[in-house]
Structure 1
Amino acid sequence: MNPPLEPGAPALAAVLAYHERTKHRFERYAAGPETLDWSAQPEPFRWYEGAPQVRLPLAAAGPATPYAALSRPGGVPPRPFSLENLALLLELSLGLSAWKEYGPDRWALRCNPSSGNLHPTEGYVLCRGVADLADGVYHYLSRDHVLEQRAACDPASVVESRVFVALSSIHWREAWKYGERAFRYCQLDTGHAIGALRYAAAALGWRVGIVAGLGSAGLAALLGLDRRGDFLGVEEEEPELLLELLADAAPSAAAPDFVLPPEAWRGQANRLDPHPMYHWPVIDEVAEASRTPEAVPETPGSTAVAYPSLPGLDPTPVAALIRQRRSAQHFDRKQTMSAAAFYRLLDGLLPRADTAPFDTWNAAPRLHPVLFVHRVAGLEPGLYALPRRAGIETDLRAACKPDFEWTRPAGCPGHLPLFRLVAGDCAKIGRAINCHQAIGADSSFALGMLAEFEASLAEAPWAYRRLYWEAGLLGQALYLEAEALGVRGTGIGCYFDDVFHQLLGLEGPAFQSLYHFTVGFPLVDTRILTLPPYAGRDPTPGG
Structure 2
Amino acid sequence: MSTSSDSVINYHQRTKHQLNAYAKGPESLDWDDQPNPFRRFSGCETVKLPMPGADLNCLFADLDKPESIEPQPLMMDNLGLLLELSFGLSAWKQFGPDRWALRCNPSSGNLHPTEAYLVSTDANLIAPGVYHYVSHDHHLERRSQFIGVSENPACYIGLSSIHWREAWKYGERAFRYCQHDIGHALAGLSYAAACLGWRIELLSEVSDAEIARWLGLDRDSDFVDHEHEAPDLFCRLHVNRQAPDSFNAEQLSQLQQSATWFGQAERLSSRHFYRWPIIDEVAVAAQKPAIEAERQQMPILQLAVPSHNLAASQLIRQRRSAQHFNGKAESIPLADFQRMLSALLPNTKPPFTAWNWSPQVHLVFFVHRVEGLEPGMYLLPRDAQAVPVLKQACSKDFSWQKMDTAFEFYQLVAGNVRQAAKTLSCHQPIASDSAFSLGMLADFSDNVETEAWRYRRLFWECGLLGQILYLEAEAAGVRGTGIGCFFDDAVHGVLGLQDNAWQSLYHFTVGVPADDSRLQTLPAYAHLMPTES
- Sort the TM-score into its range (normalised by shorter chain): over 0.9
Is it true that 1:164 corresponds to 2:160 in the alignment? no
Matched residues in 1 for 2:488 and 2:40: separation? Answer: 36
Equivalent position of 2:10 in the other structure = 17
Is it true that 1:217 corresponds to 2:209 in the alignment? yes
Deviation readout 1:120-140 (Å, 9 max, x if unpaired): 000000012264411110000
Is it true that 1:530 corresponds to 2:509 in the alignment? no
- AA paired with 1:458? E
Matched residues in 2 for 1:390 and 1:166: separation? Answer: 33
- CA, structure 1 residues 254+458, in 2 after alignment: closer, same or farther (shift >3 Å)? farther
Match among 144, 154, 159 for residue 151 of structure 1: 144
- Would you say the 8 A contact 2:54–2:81 is kept in 1? no
- AA paired with 1:183? F
Q: What SS does the corresponding residue of 1:489 show, helix, strand or coil?
A: strand
Matched residues in 1 for 2:54 and 2:166: separation? Answer: 32
Matched residues in 2 for 1:368 and 1:247: separation? Answer: 32
- CA, structure 1 residues 516+346, in 2 after alignment: closer, same or farther (shift >3 Å)? same
Matched residues in 1 for 2:134 and 2:284: separation? Answer: 27
Deviates more, 1:226-235 or 1:265-274: 226-235
Is it true that 1:176 corresponds to 2:171 in the alignment? no
Describe how 1:239-254 pairs up with structure 2 within 5 A: 239-248=231-240, 249-251=242-244, 252-254=246-248
Tell me the CA shift for residue 39 of structure 1.
2.7
Matched residues in 2 for 1:184 and 1:156: separation? Answer: 39
Equivalent position of 1:289 in the other structure = 285
Equivalent position of 1:139 in the other structure = 132
Match among 307, 322, 325 for residue 328 of structure 1: 322
Tell me the CA shift for residue 310 of structure 1.
2.6
- CA, structure 1 residues 83+398, in 2 after alignment: closer, same or farther (shift >3 Å)? same
Matched residues in 2 for 1:82 and 1:61: separation? Answer: 14
- CA, structure 1 residues 400+54, in 2 after alignment: closer, same or farther (shift >3 Å)? same
Q: What SS does the corresponding residue of 1:236 show, helix, strand or coil?
A: coil
Tell me the CA shift for residue 161 of structure 1.
3.7
Deviation readout 1:225-279 (Å, 9 max, x if unpaired): 1112211446111000101111224453334345235761000001111111100
The count of aligned residue pairs is 525
Matched residues in 1 for 2:528 and 2:254: separation? Answer: 33
Is it true that 1:432 corresponds to 2:446 in the alignment? no
Tell me the CA shift for residue 49 of structure 1.
0.2
- AA paired with 1:402? K
Match among 317, 334, 342 for residue 337 of structure 2: 342
- CA, structure 1 residues 121+60, in 2 after alignment: closer, same or farther (shift >3 Å)? closer
Is it true that 1:479 corresponds to 2:470 in the alignment? yes
- AA paired with 1:268? Q
- CA, structure 1 residues 140+467, in 2 after alignment: closer, same or farther (shift >3 Å)? same
Matched residues in 2 for 1:40 and 1:356: separation? Answer: 38
Matched residues in 2 for 1:328 and 1:155: separation? Answer: 49
- Would you say the 8 A contact 1:212–1:254 is kept in 2? no
- CA, structure 1 residues 42+59, in 2 after alignment: closer, same or farther (shift >3 Å)? closer
Is it true that 1:497 corresponds to 2:488 in the alignment? yes
Matched residues in 2 for 1:472 and 1:29: separation? Answer: 22
Deviates more, 1:259-268 or 1:473-482: 259-268
Matched residues in 2 for 1:489 and 1:152: separation? Answer: 41
Match among 499, 503, 506 for residue 508 of structure 1: 499
Is it true that 1:357 corresponds to 2:351 in the alignment? yes
Equivalent position of 1:111 in the other structure = 104
- Would you say the 8 A contact 1:83–1:131 is kept in 2? no
- AA paired with 2:120? C
Tell me the CA shift for residue 314 of structure 1.
4.3
Is it true that 1:274 corresponds to 2:270 in the alignment? yes
Matched residues in 2 for 1:23 and 1:475: separation? Answer: 20
- CA, structure 1 residues 420+59, in 2 after alignment: closer, same or farther (shift >3 Å)? same
Tell me the CA shift for residue 341 of structure 1.
1.0
Deviation readout 1:91-117 (Å, 9 max, x if unpaired): 001011111111111111111000000
Tell me the CA shift for residue 344 of structure 1.
1.1
- Would you say the 8 A contact 1:81–1:130 is kept in 2? no
Deviation readout 1:50-95 (Å, 9 max, x if unpaired): 0100011124431121000000141111112211111000000101
Tell me the CA shift for residue 507 of structure 1.
1.1
Deviates more, 1:70-79 or 1:88-97: 70-79
- CA, structure 1 residues 198+118, in 2 after alignment: closer, same or farther (shift >3 Å)? same
Q: What SS does the corresponding residue of 2:50 show, helix, strand or coil?
A: coil
Deviates more, 1:122-131 or 1:526-535: 122-131
Is it true that 1:228 corresponds to 2:234 in the alignment? no
Deviation readout 1:480-535 (Å, 9 max, x if unpaired): 00001100000000000000001010111110000000000001111111111111
- Would you say the 8 A contact 1:58–1:91 is kept in 2? no
- AA paired with 1:242? F
- AA paired with 1:188? H
Matched residues in 2 for 1:90 and 1:227: separation? Answer: 25
- CA, structure 1 residues 61+313, in 2 after alignment: closer, same or farther (shift >3 Å)? farther
RMSD: 1.6
Is it true that 1:264 corresponds to 2:260 in the alignment? yes
- CA, structure 1 residues 133+313, in 2 after alignment: closer, same or farther (shift >3 Å)? farther
What's the TM-score, normalizing by structure 1? 0.94
Q: In structure 1, list runs of 5 or more residues that go unmatched.
A: 1-7
- Would you say the 8 A contact 2:439–2:508 is kept in 1? yes
Equivalent position of 2:385 in the other structure = 391
Matched residues in 1 for 2:441 and 2:150: separation? Answer: 49
- Would you say the 8 A contact 2:145–2:259 is kept in 1? no
Matched residues in 1 for 2:306 and 2:328: separation? Answer: 27
Match among 181, 198, 209 for residue 206 of structure 1: 198
Q: What SS does the corresponding residue of 1:208 show, helix, strand or coil?
A: strand
- Would you say the 8 A contact 2:161–2:230 is kept in 1? yes
Matched residues in 1 for 2:87 and 2:148: separation? Answer: 27
Q: What SS does the corresponding residue of 1:286 show, helix, strand or coil?
A: helix
Deviation readout 1:283-327 (Å, 9 max, x if unpaired): 00000000112x32133444x334332345544111001110000
Q: In structure 2, list runs of 5 or more residues that go unmatched.
A: none
Tell me the CA shift for residue 398 of structure 1.
0.7
Matched residues in 1 for 2:523 and 2:172: separation? Answer: 35
Equivalent position of 1:88 in the other structure = 81
Equivalent position of 1:4 in the other structure = none
Q: What SS does the corresponding residue of 2:237 show, helix, strand or coil?
A: strand
- Would you say the 8 A contact 1:120–1:174 is kept in 2? yes
Tell me the CA shift for residue 280 of structure 1.
0.4
